[in-house]
Amino acid sequence: MCISTDPFMGVPARVHIVNVAANREEQTNEIVASFGDGVEGRINRALWGPLNETILTGGEDGVIRAWDVETGKIKLEARDHKKQIQHLCLSEDKTHFVSASLDKTAKLFDSETLECLKTYVADRPVNAAIISPILDHIVLGGGQDAMAVTTTSSKAGKFDSKIYFKVYEEEIGSIRGHFGPVNALAFNPDGRSFTTGGEDGIVTTQHELAIVLASSLSSVPLPAELALTRVVAVHAAVLRQRQELHRRRRRRQRLRFLDVILQVRARLVLLVRSLVLVHLVQVHDVRVAVHGDAVVEVHASVVREAVRDVPLNQLRGGVLVFGGTN
């Protein structure tokens, strides 16, 4: 494991290599190797290079260095940045890496030669930059200086994460989520989401849908290869929206159908009750009616008087059932 230290009391910044024991109890403070001659200021980032033969560093002097692990000497240097380097991130195969700097740029370098391959220009200081393990995307995070955050809105402070196409250096989208500068970025190993950490103390996780929509709905003109990807992503988003609208429409239709059935049932009950009452009133012979739990024979005139005050509950097998006790 490589560890970088800050300059302190006249001692310059250094990079130390230590062994990590499998058992915590066996861990020691022994430093296997230490180097850092020629570095001015603090070393902000240190990464293992390809095949662990070099260590890549970047810091306050804006210089990216490749250190030979065996000799501890500087093997290569890149001075493409004009200001302090805040972050370094290797690609999945370690063939290239991206750097983030306060000069408002992020740059893509070859890990073997430190040749600058691409430059991504932002409109704010860049504090972090990461490479997607599954897409040709570069995500940048940053914002204005933390000292001015309290006097600036989140929109004016430019605290959103920017997504760039790695090959064409074009910005293809942005995702908001912070009220202060973004200081840390990291992709999930599966590449379907990434996590951001900001000066505001908030940690957010942006999932695949947000990444796709941000990159697909951007108004920035793209080359033909990206245009096709954008069309496919937009089509997928529209299809999901249509499916959701279809489900909502079906739910509304089912509720309306149930409401109609209940209304028809209530009207049928009222109609049956009215027909039974009319029939009893018009008949002049004796009828059998259930009054409570007793079966009694009543005359039509009595029924006429009874139905005025006694509510009808139901009719079972031709027998009239009253719910009252009169």
For 82-127, write each residue's pLDDT tens digit: 999 999 999 999 999 999 999 999 999 999 999 999 999 998 899 9
Q: At what angle do helices 224-282 and 208-216 cross, to 10 degrees?
A: 110
Rg value, the chain, Cα:
39
Task: Say which residues have a Cβ less than 8 Å from residue 6's Cβ, sequence separation at least 6.
Answer: 13, 42, 43
Q: What is the DSSP string of 262-303?
A: HHHHHHHHHHHHHHHHHHHHH--S-EEEEETTEEEEE-HHHH
Q: Tokens for 56?
A: 């890549």
**Mean model confidence pLDDT for the chain:** 77
Rounded CA-CA distance 220/222 in Å is 6
Mean pLDDT of 136-153: 74
Q: Tokens for 291?
A: 């009054």
Strand ranges for 31-93 from DSSP E? 31-35, 43-48, 54-59, 64-68, 74-78, 85-90
Rounded CA-CA distance 97/130 in Å is 9
Residue located via tokens 């028809």: 264
For 231-266, write each residue's pLDDT tens digit: 555 566 667 777 888 888 888 888 888 888 888 888
User: Helical H runs in 38-172?
Assistant: 154-157
Mean pLDDT of 45-66: 92
Rounded CA-CA distance 177/196 in Å is 9
- Compute CA distances 270 → 107, 306, 325, whole Å: 80, 18, 21
Rounded CA-CA distance 168/39 in Å is 33
Percent of the chain at pLDDT > 90 equals 28
Lowest-pLDDT choice from 50-64, 121-135, 179-193, 207-221: 207-221
Rounded CA-CA distance 186/58 in Å is 18
Task: Say which residues have a Cβ less than 8 Å from residue 278's Cβ, sequence separation at least 6.
Answer: none
Lowest-pLDDT choice from 53-62, 73-82, 109-118, 280-289: 280-289
Rounded CA-CA distance 322/326 in Å is 9
- Compute CA distances 300 → 176, 231, 270, 290, whole Å: 81, 80, 22, 14
Terminal Cα distance for the chain, rounded: 95
User: How are strands ordered across the β-sheet holding 182-187?
Assistant: 182-187, 193-198, 203-207
Q: Tokens for 262?
A: 């209940």
277 contacts 289 by C-beta, under 8 angstroms: no
For 163-173, write each residue's pLDDT tens digit: 898 988 888 88
Percent of the chain at pLDDT > 70 equals 71
pLDDT at 50 over 60: yes
Q: Kindly report the backbone phi and psi dihedral angles of residue 172, in degrees, each rounded to the nearest multiple of 5, phi listed first.
A: -120, 0
pLDDT at 63 over 70: yes
Q: Given the DSSP bridges, would you call strands 319-322 and 287-291 parallel, antiparallel or unpaired?
A: parallel
What is the chain's length?
Answer: 326
